[in-house]
Amino acid sequence: MCQLLGMNCNTPTDILFSFEGFHRRGGLTDQHADGFGIAFFEGVGCRLFLDDQASAHSPVSDLIRRYPIKSKNVIAHIRKATQGRVALENTHPFHRELWGRNWIFAHNGNLEHFAPARGQYYRPVGDTDSEAAFCHLLETLRQRFAEPPPLAELTAAVRELAASIRAHGVFNFMLSNGDVLFTHCSTHLHYLVRQAPFSVAHLVDNDVSIDFAEVTTPSDRVAVIATQPLTDNETWTAHPKDTVLVFRDGAPLAG
Amino acid sequence: MCQLLGMNCNTPTDILFSFEGFHRRGGLTDQHADGFGIAFFEGVGCRLFLDDQASAHSPVSDLIRRYPIKSKNVIAHIRKATQGRVALENTHPFHRELWGRNWIFAHNGNLEHFAPARGQYYRPVGDTDSEAAFCHLLETLRQRFAEPPPLAELTAAVRELAASIRAHGVFNFMLSNGDVLFTHCSTHLHYLVRQAPFSVAHLVDNDVSIDFAEVTTPSDRVAVIATQPLTDNETWTAHPKDTVLVFRDGAPLAG
């Protein structure tokens, strides 16, 4: 299996602290050594850094650890290959454009007997179940909505698609268009919301602490979502199973 | 205007030497300081590094200068903004998927009164003439060919599209699907083919030389294409104007 990390904020924020712990799971504190990737939305722009090396040892990962890119939506993934060989085209997150916006997707799990019909708008480049699921998701959204629908309709469609795809196996995923971050949990996903009053957080994977009170303003709000909790002195909430959450402005929306 | 750099090879090759000179034009030896980007095809996989900082000073550029990614097709671009503000979504190269393959595009020039109809398959995310041209190109190819056509047909379609778009202004571009590299020249583009017997090359923008005989095998062949020649002791060929060349396996195809 793989590990997922997501961040959704109400103001552009860097992910250096969370990534410091997370990247060690790619070959150091855990065995997800078959590549890694991280995508940052900056306004409507998006950049995606990929490497087929383990995140604990990758030069690209070194860059990410040093370069404080400020973003309101981030998705990162470290891979332990289940389907698809270790290759760049099979490295998450995946990227496509829909309705003139960037969309990013990463998946943890394994889908069996999942063979959607060839899409009109989107086709996988690699041979993972994950990219096939992403293309099927966007294909269905695009077929159903020629223009971007209101968020409630979009969310309902994502929920319906998640339910149909998870019938094929474990389907923990993160999906973002730079505005909201959709998360779906089949097995393991945890999240927390950091907001004032901020305090000190300490990583699980490395003896590193940060006092968020020193680096935030009182109105900041940041949600961090990860396969397993990244800190050992904060309260992480288990993501409800078989459920899609929608994070916007640093917190899950009600409903 | 901007500057373009492309590389097309018969065996995966790193671009460290050419990029060492090229990146200095982004803010040091020239004034193209509004962002830069570079895309590497690795098999059918593709990764795209972008920064809205000047390439001469960007942390992403520092990574590229140190990390010898081996690729058969590379497209790089340093930007001096003409249309579209300085922002990530306006930073070249641009990426889309077509027919289950990655496609990469970068443009040097300025198109006026270019407003193609909204596409069914591809829409720009940013507001540059360049991304609009790329989307129009792929949209037309996708409308015309539901499946990838033979190279001769594909090339004829790219030539026809280039001719129609260049009526709007300066349209130097590079386009690749990881198999071939299409180049089109309106004003300035130069190329050379390096092959055995290899010799020493010396950069224009920096006092750096390399003896390619020491780092190649006799069967290697590499084409380098750039807005202006990158070396001062090799013979660069001026790219014929209003013409599309197709580079494959390190050399332009005949015809």
Do residues B83 and B110 lie in contact, with contact meaning Cβ atoms separated by under 8 Å? yes
C-alpha gyration radius of chain A: 17
Burial grade of B26 (CB within 10 A; 0-12, 13-18, 19 or more): buried
- Largest interatomic CA distance in chain A: 52
User: DSSP readout, B168-207?
Assistant: GEEEEEEEE-SS-EEEEESS--EEEEEESSP-EEEBSSSS
Do residues A15 and A71 lie in contact, with contact meaning Cβ atoms separated by under 8 Å? yes
Do residues B197 and B166 lie in contact, with contact meaning Cβ atoms separated by under 8 Å? no
- The kind and range of the H/E element at B110 are strand B101-111
Which residues in chain A have their CB less than 8 angstroms from residue B43's CB? 87-89
Structure token pair of residue A194: 């950091």
- Name the closest residue on chain A to residue B93, using Cα atoms: A47
Beta bridge partners of A177: none
Which CATH architecture fits A3-252? 4-Layer Sandwich (3.60)
Chain A: closest CA distance from residue B238 (Å):
33
Return the domain boundaries, chain B. Answer: 3-252
**Per-residue pLDDT reduced to its tens digit, A121-179:** 999 999 999 999 999 999 999 999 999 999 999 999 999 999 999 999 999 999 999 99
ipTM of the complex: 0.95
Most A CBs within 10 Å: which of B89, B123, B136, as the mutation test of the A interface?
Answer: B89
Q: Which residues contact A65 (CB under 8 A, 6 or more apart)?
A: A16, A19, A20, A23
- Name the closest residue on chain A to residue B103, using Cα atoms: A125
Do residues B138 and B96 lie in contact, with contact meaning Cβ atoms separated by under 8 Å? yes
CA distances (Å), origin A16, targets A103, A216, B20, B136, B188: 22, 14, 28, 38, 42
**CA–CA separation, A155 and A152 (whole Å):** 5
At residue A202, what is the residue type? H
pLDDT in tens, chain B (255 residues): 689 999 999 999 999 999 999 999 887 877 777 889 999 999 999 999 999 888 888 999 999 999 999 999 999 999 887 777 889 999 999 999 999 999 999 999 999 999 999 999 999 999 999 999 999 999 999 999 999 999 999 999 999 999 999 999 999 999 999 999 999 999 999 999 999 999 999 999 999 999 999 999 999 999 999 999 999 999 999 999 999 999 999 999 986
